[in-house]
Amino acid sequence: MNKIKVAVIGASGYAGLELVRLLVRHPGCDLAALTSLEYPGIPFSQVFPALAGIVDLSFSPASGSEPEKIAAGAEVVFTAIPHQAAMGIIPRLLAKKGCKVVDLSADFRFREVGLYEKWYQAHTAPELLTEAVYGLPELHREEVRRTRLVANPGCYPTCVILGLAPLAQARLLQPDSVIADCKSGVSGAGRQTLLGLTFCEVNDGFRAYKVLEHRHTPEMEQELSRLAGTPVQVTFTPHLVPMSRGILGTLYASLTEPRAEGELRELYRKFYQGHPFVRLHPPGSLPDTRNVRGANFCDLALRVDEGGRRVIVLSAIDNLAKGAASQAVQNFNLMVGFPETMGLETPPFLP
Ligand SMILES: NC(=O)c1ccc[n+]([C@@H]2O[C@H](COP(=O)([O-])OP(=O)(O)OC[C@H]3O[C@@H](n4cnc5c(N)ncnc54)[C@H](OP(=O)(O)O)[C@@H]3O)[C@@H](O)[C@H]2O)c1
């Protein structure tokens, strides 16, 4: 098989590291370049000894003319860097004919530039927003196959959108009733050193943050509204829990018409038929972040109250996997014509 040369810009961050871990054993690709601002010229395995004897590249810088050099040596580039920095680099990568990009930042996730600018900052490459595809393969698989720029979804939006998509599409979601109560592990904030994220500040505690202010809210609303054909409002409260990886979403919504639990389970089963990474729990069993660690799964369960009016969906993902890196590899597979599951068959970490 002709292997595809890939590069990871931002390979020293948590999402980038997870990408390297997956791509180095992916049977269809070769790592061509890994960048870091902090460690240019230093062997990757010196900084991350866990991958000694497995990854033999040194870090390249991501500055100067490096993006053009990277695009010249790689057919697909993953950008795992902060928003704003991503939109500065991506047009330079795409200027190389044939280059494809999977961007893990928020810079190309919005269809309307005004929405992006309301929640983030001025957009410097708005002309790319119309061609970028929101990379949730369970919703946009065919568009992902055809694009050269995938906007990989945020971690919380992946958890919430997959949890509610079947109800939205079936017009069963009361558009002003959605509450997304989500808990994330600390790696969701990246590898940066912030006082509030140090061990003693996080361990043995449990807190909400960015209440009504989290930037993932408009992303959830954009995709659920598109599916529902009407504006859907999401009341989203993120929480930080003392674990490294994982997101559990407890999603509450009212139904437009009463439905029995069995009917909704059948709706979900049909919606996710042919999507190997969404697993629907049988009655009586509930998702746990421990069951998806290191794997590309989204585990779902649902319960409906006695009157059939109120539904609770439980959705579990690994924020660094289905919420970031392994979903990016799933998108990469689709973009280059590989089987969607290639390189993603490793079972979750146990226990
Ligand atoms: N963490 C998650 O669960 C998660 C989930 C979904 C999406 N994402 C998104 O993925 C991206 C990376 O997140 P992360 O959590 O991996 O962050 P991180 O751990 O802080 O890593 C950021 C990476 O970007 C590099 N970088 C920083 N500023 C840069 C710039 N101006 N130009 C080039 N490279 C730069 C850093 O290099 P140095 O460290 O060498 O300076 C590092 O490799 C973000 O856009 C984030 O929103 C993260």
Q: What is the CATH number of the domain that holds 297?
A: 3.30.360.10
184 lies in the same domain as 132: no
Q: Of all protein residues, whose CA lies closest to atom 21 belonging to ligand 1?
A: 13
Does the pLDDT of residue 85 top 90, yes or no? yes
Q: Is the CB of 80 under 6 A from ligand 1?
A: yes
155, 159, 182, 298: which one is catalytic?
155
The pair of three-digit structure tokens given for residue 34, joined into one six-digit string: 């890994």
Decide whether any atom of ligand 1 lies within 6 Å of the 40 Cβ. Answer: no
Average pLDDT, the chain: 97
Residue 8, domain member (yes or no): yes
For the chain, the domain total comes to 2
Domain co-membership, 100 together with 125: yes
What pLDDT does residue 13 have?
A: 98
- Convert the pLDDT of each residue in 259-290 to its tens digit: 999 999 999 999 999 999 999 999 999 999 99
Q: Which of 18, 81, 298 to mutate to test the pocket of ligand 1 (most atoms within 8 A of CB)?
A: 81
**Active-site residue, 155 included:** yes
Please tell me the distance between residue 201's alpha carbon and the centre of ligand 1 in angstroms. 22
Same domain, 164 and 306: yes
Average pLDDT over residues 214-238: 98
Residue 181 has pLDDT above 90, yes or no: yes
So what's the pLDDT on residue 25?
97
The set of residues, in sequence order, having a beta carbon less than 8 Å from that of 282 and lying 6+ positions away, is none
pLDDT (tens digit per residue) in 4-44? 999 999 999 999 999 999 999 999 999 999 999 999 999 99
Asked if the structure places residue 136 within a domain, the reply is: yes
Answer yes or no: is the C-beta of 47 below 6 A from any ligand 1 atom: no
In the chain, alpha helices (H): 14-23, 44-47, 66-73, 85-94, 113-119, 137-146, 155-169, 199-202, 217-228, 261-271, 325-336
Average pLDDT (288-299) is 98
To test the pocket of ligand 1, the residue of 9, 14, 70, 186 to mutate (highest count of ligand atoms within 8 Å of its CB) is 14
**Is 74 inside any structural domain?**
yes
Q: What are phi and psi of 307, to 5 degrees?
A: -80, -5
- Give the pLDDT confidence score for residue 238 in this predicted structure: 98
Nearest residue CA, atom 32 of ligand 1? 85
Whether 102 and 190 map to the same domain: the answer is no
Asked whether residue 163 falls in the same domain as residue 310, the answer is yes
pLDDT the model gives residue 140: 98
Percent of residues, the chain, with pLDDT higher than 70: 100
pLDDT value at residue 89:
97
Query: In this structure, is residue 271 part of a structural domain?
Result: yes
* pLDDT over threshold 80, residue 1: no
CB 340: neighbour CB atoms within 10 A? 19
pLDDT tens sequence across 111-160: 999 999 999 999 999 999 999 999 999 999 999 999 999 999 999 999 99
pLDDT bin (cut points 50, 70, 90) of residue 94 is: very high
Instruction: Say if ligand 1 is within 6 A of residue 90 CB.
Output: no
Q: 321: CA distance to ligand 1 center in Å?
A: 15
What is the mean predicted confidence (pLDDT) over 284-299? 97
Ligand 1 center–CA 16 separation, angstroms: 7
Distance between Cα 250 and ligand 1 center (Å)? 27
**Residue at 199 is within a domain:** yes
Q: How far is the CA of 104 from the centre of ligand 1 (A)?
A: 9
Q: How far is the CA of 204 from the centre of ligand 1 (A)?
A: 26
16 close to ligand 1 (CB < 6 Angstrom): yes
Q: What is the DSSP letter of 236?
A: E
Q: Establish whether residue 190 lines the binding site of ligand 1, counting it when its CB lies within 6 angstroms of any ligand atom.
A: yes
Residue 69 domain-assigned (yes or no): yes
Q: Are residues 25 and 113 in the same domain?
A: yes
Domain check: are 173 and 307 in the same one? yes
Q: Is position 346 within any domain?
A: no
319 lines ligand 1 (CB under 6 A): yes
Look at ligand 1, atom 36, and give the residue with the nearest C-alpha. Answer: 10
- For residues 162 and 298, state if they share a domain: yes
Q: Is 343 left (phi over 0), alpha (psi -120 to 50) or beta?
A: left
For residue 321, pLDDT over 90 is answered with yes
pLDDT computed for residue 63 by the predictor: 86
Domain-embedded: residue 342: no
Clarify whether residues 128 and 169 are in a common domain: no
- On whether both 115 and 202 belong to a single domain, the answer is no
pLDDT at 62 over 90: no
18 and 135 belong to one structural domain: yes
pLDDT at 64: 87
Name the residue range of residue 160's domain: 156-317
**CATH number of the structural domain spanning residue 21:** 3.40.50.720
Indicate the top mutation candidate among 35, 37, 241 to test ligand 1's pocket, ranked by most ligand atoms within 8 A of CB: 37
Q: Evaluate whether 327 touches 272 at the Cβ level (below 8 Å).
A: no
Shared domain check, 212 and 117: no
Checking if the pLDDT of 193 tops 90, the result is no
| Amino acid occupying residue 52 | A
